Structure 1
Amino acid sequence: MEGIQIYELKRMDLRGATVIDGFPSVGLVSSIVANYLINALNLTQIGIMDSIYFPTVALVRDGQPMNPVRIYAGSKVDDHDQIVVFISEFQPPPNLIKAIAATVLDWAQDARCNLLVCPEGLIVDAREDEGDRQVEVYGIGSTDKAMDMIRKNGITVFEEGVITGVAGVLLNEGRKRDFDVITLLSEAHPDYPDARAAARAIEIIDKLLLHTELDARPLY
């Protein structure tokens, strides 16, 4: 769909970087993960996504107007993966999801990023929300290389089911284009923002990419 653009506000070398999809999902898992990474890694805003089809709103923070869909990134640090985060303040309507996902992947490929990671909530019936039961996280990849990353890091493979929204389209697009996309499905409650599910996704992302021992305990 025409009318969706990415505008770069700051130039940064993103070759080899990993892109995190922060468009809202079940339990707002992706949104919580995206906000956490932006703050914990002190990422800088480098761009926005805009469209005539997006809500006509401006988010104001610290006296500054902000676009509802923003792109943040950090610098390369030693052997840690460079991280880029897309974050959205609204749930994309179904008629825009394919165009948004294609635009994200087009941009990632143009910037020569290596990997796209989608933290998602997975609705689980009869989930035990009380007690110390650990939230399970499952993974699925668009390529053999992405699946190898999942298995080598001890993540349970998501064998069967349906993945909707931006994450689902990115998986399909990644498979079509032979681009590495990993979706991490964290068991989540659909009726409220599930910080516990997001914390588990953050721990897996840290294990996969960052190796910095991010402290997600405040989210539990």
Structure 2
Amino acid sequence: MFLLYAVYGNVMTVEPEIKITSKPLSGENPIVLMGFPGSGLVGSIALQYLVEQMEFNQIGNITSKYFPPVAMMAKGVINVPVRIYENEETVAIVADIPIHPMICYEVANGIIDWLSTFPVREVATIAGIVTNEPEKRVFGVATQEEMLERITDHTVILPMGSISGIAGSVLTECKIRNIPGYGFLGETVATPDPRSAAAALNVLKVIYGLEIDIDPLLEQAEEIEATMHKLAEEVQSAEPMQKKENLPMYG
């Protein structure tokens, strides 16, 4: 197992800000995909689906004293909230917890520090971007202008603006260190959005040649939408009664 305590150069700090416990990456020139919770949970939904469908192997975990004091659980088994997976030449870093803006730099710096010890080909972050449109487009950015040609036919290139949160911090670190980096932002709303995650996966599927079936994720989207529609109807039907019950009393 590989243990990293927030490495800066060849010096290890005594009190780690970011701790990565992992086997070394085995690929000769791997790509690294990252998905953290954000708008529509696009990144985390997309990559969790990817690692399950393509049967990635979990090789490590990321922890930090700044992460929320939460232990994730599935079917009675505890799972670390930020995990590292691998499948041949593809690495996936998947998170179940949002990263607070105050520690985005530390998390991004720690992860890219660790990745820099391997011959990583490029890094791609998957996130969501809230718009008022229902099209589920995928917007694309790159750390170098010449890299845009590769994604122009598959994404909408963002002409101007900013990318916040951990996705923005990761891309900034890639830019500074001259590591090729892409950002794929699925058009979404504030609620969990499997359709946007599916759209982002379709882009990854084409660009990286991933063999993955998106249809089950779209079926999941229909189930979530039906559940949300039912909840909305229940809320609307409950509102008149709440208003009646909340009438002021006189006398």
Q: Which has the higher contact order (CA 8 A, sep 6+)?
A: 1
Query: How far did residue 145 of structure 1 move?
Result: 4.6
Residue 147 (1) aligns with residue 148 (2): yes
Q: How far, CA to CA, are the matches of 2:53 and 2:66 in structure 1?
A: 31
Q: How does 1:21-100 map to 2 (within 5 A)?
A: 21-75=34-88, 82-100=89-107
Q: How far, CA to CA, are the matches of 2:151 and 2:114 in structure 1?
A: 24
Residue 7 (1) aligns with residue 13 (2): no
Q: How far, CA to CA, are the matches of 2:177 and 2:77 in structure 1?
A: 38
1:128-158 deviation line (CA, Å, top 9, x unaligned): 3xxxxx421111001245323223x443211
Contact 1:15–1:112 (CA under 8 A) maintained in structure 2: yes
Name the aligned partner's letter for residue 52 of structure 1: K
Query: How far did residue 217 of structure 1 move?
Result: 2.0
Residue 19 (1) aligns with residue 32 (2): yes
- TM, length-normalised to structure 2: 0.76
Contact 1:143–1:174 (CA under 8 A) maintained in structure 2: no
Structure label with greater radius of gyration? 2
Equivalence for 2:171: 171
Secondary structure at 1:173 match in 2 = helix
Contact 2:72–2:78 (CA under 8 A) maintained in structure 1: yes
Query: How far did residue 62 of structure 1 move?
Result: 4.3
Name the aligned partner's letter for residue 125 of structure 2: C
Q: Percent identity?
A: 28
Query: How far did residue 63 of structure 1 move?
Result: 4.3
Q: How does 1:80-159 map to 2 (within 5 A)?
A: 82-125=89-132, 127-128=133-134, 134-151=135-152, 153-159=153-159
Secondary structure at 2:19 match in 1 = strand
Contact 1:145–1:180 (CA under 8 A) maintained in structure 2: no
Mark the runs of 5 or more structure 1 residues left unpaired by the alignment: 76-81, 129-133
Contact 1:143–1:179 (CA under 8 A) maintained in structure 2: no
Alpha carbons of 1:109 and 1:14: their partners in 2 closer, same or farther (altered >3 Å)?
farther
- TM, length-normalised to structure 1: 0.86
Alpha carbons of 1:73 and 1:177: their partners in 2 closer, same or farther (altered >3 Å)?
same
Q: How far, CA to CA, are the matches of 2:195 and 2:214 in structure 1?
A: 9
Q: How far, CA to CA, are the matches of 2:59 and 2:147 in structure 1?
A: 26
Secondary structure at 2:151 match in 1 = helix
1:18-61 deviation line (CA, Å, top 9, x unaligned): 11111112100001011111101101110111112222232233
Equivalence for 2:242: none
Secondary structure at 2:116 match in 1 = helix
CA RMSD of aligned residues (A): 1.8
Equivalence for 1:79: none
Equivalence for 2:9: none
